[in-house]
Amino acid sequence: MKTCFPDIPDKILFEGPTSKNPLAFKYYNPSQIVGQKIMAEHLRFSVAYWHTFKGTGMDPFGAATFRRPWNMGKTPMEQAENTLQAAFEFVQKLGVPFYCFHDRDLAPEGETFSESCQNLETMVAKAKKLQEETGIKLLWGTANLFSHPRYAHGAATNPDAHVFAYATAQVKHAITATRELGGSNYVFWGGREGYETLLNTDMKREQEQMARFFHMAVDYAKQIGFDGQFLIEPKPKEPTKHQYDFDAATVLDFLRAYDLWDYFKLNIEANHATLAGHSFEHDLTVASLNGKLGSIDANVGDPLLGWDTDQFPTDPVMCAKAMLVVLKQGGIGKGGFNFDAKLRRGSFDENDLFYAHISGMDTFARGLTAAHQIIEDGVLDHFIEKRYASYGEGIGKQIISGRESFDSLEKWILKKGEPAFKSGRQEMLENIVSSYV
Ligand code: XLS
Ligand code: CA
Ligand code: CA
């Protein structure tokens, strides 16, 4: 088999922080123990098929700049096979345990629905063989319900029942494929489940349709014995102006309202959180404190550009804040850290794919060790505990016990007067966190 990455050694190795080799890890040392687990088990990294192998560098102003040899086959299926080979070579050399795909990344859409299903089955069989040979696993599968023109007005929320039916049939096969490949999770990202204008949209009806679609997916998973975790990935906008899965809080409310709470967790993407006007750690925290943080799409947006730029993470402080949330909930469980991130249009060499992933993995490794040490030293926990200490005694304890009321507290205030001023010490804490990375 011809290699697609001839300049890259068989395995990217850990050489430590003093190494000057751009094709080596400086901080990601898979076997290093951090707390109770090794780094590889904490971070469960995954490569995203769509950006890394199918991305072209195309943007609204210009043509593709990535000329990948594996995307050059004579027929779409030949290209799919070449891509699969390249993907497994890449993931193996990088030393990452997982990958993720959309059905249409792995296998091309056919002339008919049956042909599309046939293409997917063929490619799933080949992927299964490569998984067995290499030990690489599927973190999650998903369906692309946003690229084809039939989904221009949404999939599950489409005003046309015919399109709704098409989407369910497609997802049926994507879940089957994920089960066949032993996927740990299955992701629902509502690509075009939103609207452009309320002048032509019945929002209530569309949200009910979305819930119906999710219930059908839950029933189908039970029917075929798929035991992976279902995940919904929030995103506020892009491609539609307003998407229904706006952010973690919105999705959690939706799950509660439509009786779906027990069946879904969330896949939180950094760039989607910031698009919603939140920090990455905000949406992670909202998901986690509800017991719903299932997996992470590890990327970052550009603060100077207001859209979903899907860049590789390079800020260890951001990663430390994220890892604090993950470590406090006892780990990411069945989920992982999927690099849903792409190269800039000008970084068109195949080797750039390695530099980018190495950088992302090193950055998260720094975040992990910093977060672990911050928790071990109790620096933030101790501060936060003290900040809320007034609820552990006196009137605070009384409030918690439920024995106080507006009237009784008014009497207390009439006696006690103004509270003392206490600093939140934000700058001091920010400096403490950066001193750990
Ligand atoms: C797009 C999303 C998408 C999902 C999977 O913005 O991030 O790639 O992760 O459909
Ligand atoms: Ca994503
Ligand atoms: Ca994104």
Whose C-alpha lies nearest to ligand 1, atom 10? Answer: 189
Ligand 1 atom at minimal distance to the Cα of residue 308:
6
Q: How far does the centroid of ligand 3 lie from the alpha carbon of residue 310, in Å?
A: 5
Mean pLDDT of 8-21: 98
| Residue of the CA atom closest to atom 4 of ligand 1 | 189
With 90 as the cut, is the pLDDT of residue 111 above it? Answer: yes
Within 13 Å of residue 100, how many CA atoms lie on the same side as its CB? Answer: 29
Assign 242 a pLDDT band (cuts: 50, 70, 90): very high
pLDDT at residue 155 tops 80: yes
Q: Which of 273-277, 306-310, 340-344 has the lowest mean pLDDT?
A: 306-310
pLDDT of 295 strictly over 80: yes
The predicted model gives 340-345 an average pLDDT of 98
Mean pLDDT taken over the chain: 98
**Rounded to whole angstroms, what are the CA distances from 434 to 57, 108, 316, 367, 427?**
34, 46, 9, 10, 11
Ligand 2 center to residue 25 CA distance, Å? 25
* pTM, to two decimals: 0.98
Give the pLDDT of residue 306: 86
Task: Report the 3 state secondary structure along 231-280.
Answer: EEECCCCCCCCEECCCCHHHHHHHHHHCCCHHHEEEEEEHHHHHHCCCCH
- The stretch 133-151 carries a mean pLDDT of 98
Percent share of the chain, pLDDT over 70: 100
> Which residues are known catalytic residues?
102, 105
User: Are the C-beta atoms of residues 88 and 130 closer than 8 Å to each other?
Assistant: yes
Task: Give tens-digit pLDDT for 401-436.
Answer: 999 999 999 999 999 999 999 999 999 999 999 999
DSSP string, 213-235: HHHHHHHHHHHHT--SEEEEE--
- Tokens standing for 361? 């993995």
Pairwise CA distance, residues 149 & 238, whole Å: 16
Residue 279, amino acid: S
Residue 1 pLDDT greater than 80, yes or no: no
Quick one: what percent of the chain has pLDDT higher than 90? 99
> In angstroms, what is the span from residue 267 Cα to ligand 1's centroid?
10
Instruction: Say if residue 334's pLDDT is above 90.
Output: yes
Residue 217's pLDDT is 99
Residue 2: which pLDDT band, with cuts at 50, 70 and 90? Answer: confident
Indicate if the pLDDT at residue 353 is higher than 70.
yes
Q: Which atom of ligand 1 is nearest to the CA of 297?
A: 9
* pLDDT (mean) for 296-319: 96
Q: Whose CA is nearest to atom 5 of ligand 1?
A: 189
